[in-house]
Structures are given as C-alpha cells and as structure tokens.
Amino acid sequence: MKVFISYLFLVFFLSSQAQERNAQYWAIKGDTASNNKKYEEAIQNYSKAIELNPTNPDYYNSRGWVENVLEKYQIAIDDFTNSINLYQQNPDYYNNRGISEDNIGKYKKAIKDYKKAIKLDKKAPYYYSNIGLVLGKLRQHQEAIEYFTKAISLDQNEPKYYYCKAISMDSLGKYEDAIDNYTIAIKLAPKEPCYFCNRGIANADMGKYKEAIEDYTKSIELNPNNAFVFYDRGNAKYKLGMFKEAIAD
C-alpha cells in the first residue's frame, strides 16, 4: 500500500514538474514576443502559461504589463491584482498596478500602490518618481519636488528625474531652480529636444529671451517637427524686436 501511494505521489510530482516546464516555455515565448513588440501574441503565450500554472504570480504580472502597453488598463489592473493576491512581497506588482491606475486617472489608488512598493523597497528611485508624476498632475508641486529629489538621491544619472523636478519648480515660479535642473538633464541627455524647449520656456519666463531663443533653436535642430517650439521662438524674437524673424517662425 505504501509503495502504491509513493508511486502515485511520484507520478503526480513528475506530472507537476512537466506542467511547470511547459508553463515556463510559454512564458518565455511571451517574453520574446513582448520584446519584439508582438503584444497580442505575447498575451496569448502568457495566457497559456497561466492556464498551465495559475499559481505563478509572475505570469499575471507579465501579461498585465503587456496589457498596460496596449492601453487595456483595467484588464492590466486585474492581472496585477492577481499577482498581488498570490504574492504580496514583490514591490513591482504594486508599482505596475499603480501605473495602470495612474493611466485611468485613479490617482489616489496609484499613490497608495506606489507607497506600498516603497515600503517593500525603499531604494528603487522610480517608485518615488512615479509618485512625483502623479502629484504633479494633481498640481501638488512642492510635494512632487520632494519625491523627485528623493529619486535623484538614489540615482543621480537619470535625466528624467531632473526634468520632472524642473517642471514642478517651473510651475511654482522657481525659474532659476528649474533652469538648473533642466541643465543637468540636458548634460545627461543632450539629444532630448523637450529638455531644451522647456529650459527655453523657463528662460523666457525670466525675460532671458536671447537664452530662450538659443534653447528653442537647439530643440528645433533635434526635432524640426514641433510647431509649438517655432511659435515659442517666434514669440521670444518678437519680445526682442526681431519682428521679421518672429513672423518667419
């Protein structure tokens, strides 16, 4: 009898192992499809992995991320929630759900999830940055600046943190501080046209139209298809009495 029970256990164990290997196979195919931007195919592959092993939280998380890319935000939220229900200690699950919630305007829920992610991992700068972005949307710029500052303290080489911090400073009329942060962002990413454009706006707000024109011109060199930058440069030229050049822009 004991031998028979052991045999059944062995069969079950080997069967479970084989099923998990099959699930991993489909999950890897999902990763490959996702990396190649074949998102619908990726979802199908992750779904097969989930069907074979519905208790692996990573499979739901991976499918949720692809759904988020496809702007299927509520479906993504459901998948991230499944991941969290299966395992509550992975901060990325909360962060990813927060991103989807943010995308559909559920800002309070997004902040709550980002803070949960921070509670689980206090050294991930993008969790703080994500809160800062939501606070910026809520026009709570001073608090947003604090979160961007924390993100920067954890990663001094990410230009987006300085850029986002500068936008909040600009919104509060702290133009010099904004320019300083735009400048750092530009040094880290000198081919990003929006960094020059926004620094130009801050310079214009301070009445530094010559500097603004230089920034707008650099932004146009990097991206000549943004009509708004031409308008802003034309406005700065007009302020300096360069009327013909303003009309041309």
3-state secondary structure the chain: CHHHHHHHHHHHHHHHHHHHHHHHHHHHHHHHHHHCCCHHHHHHHHHHHHHHCCCCHHHHHHHHHHHHHCCCHHHHHHHHHHHHHHCCCCHHHHHHHHHHHHHCCCHHHHHHHHHHHHHHCCCCHHHHHHHHHHHHHCCCHHHHHHHHHHHHHHCCCCHHHHHHHHHHHHHCCCHHHHHHHHHHHHHHCCCCHHHHHHHHHHHHHCCCHHHHHHHHHHHHHHCCCCHHHHHHHHHHHHHCCCHHHHHHC
Note down the domain range covering 72: 15-122
For 100-120, how does the pLDDT look when each residue is reduced to its tens digit (9 = 90+)?
999 999 999 999 999 999 999
- What one-letter code names the amino acid at 11? V
Residue at 157 is within a domain:
no
For 200-228, how does the pLDDT look when each residue is reduced to its tens digit (9 = 90+)?
999 999 999 999 999 999 999 999 999 99
Residue at 44 is within a domain:
yes
* pLDDT for res 19: 61
Residue at 23 is within a domain:
yes
* pLDDT for res 21: 73
Give the domain CATH number at 106: 1.25.40.10
* pLDDT for res 196: 98
* pLDDT for res 18: 56
Single out the residue of 113, 82, 81 nearest to residue 99, CA to CA: 113
* pLDDT for res 22: 85
Domain count, the chain: 1
Segments of the chain with pLDDT less than 70: 1-20
Residue at 56 is within a domain:
yes
Residue at 27 is within a domain:
yes
* pLDDT for res 60: 98
Residue at 175 is within a domain:
no
Single out the residue of 124, 127, 95 nearest to residue 109, CA to CA: 95
Give the max Cα distance, the chain. Answer: 99
Residue at 188 is within a domain:
no
* pLDDT for res 175: 97
Residue at 172 is within a domain:
no
DSSP label at residue 106:
-
- What one-letter code names the amino acid at 169? M
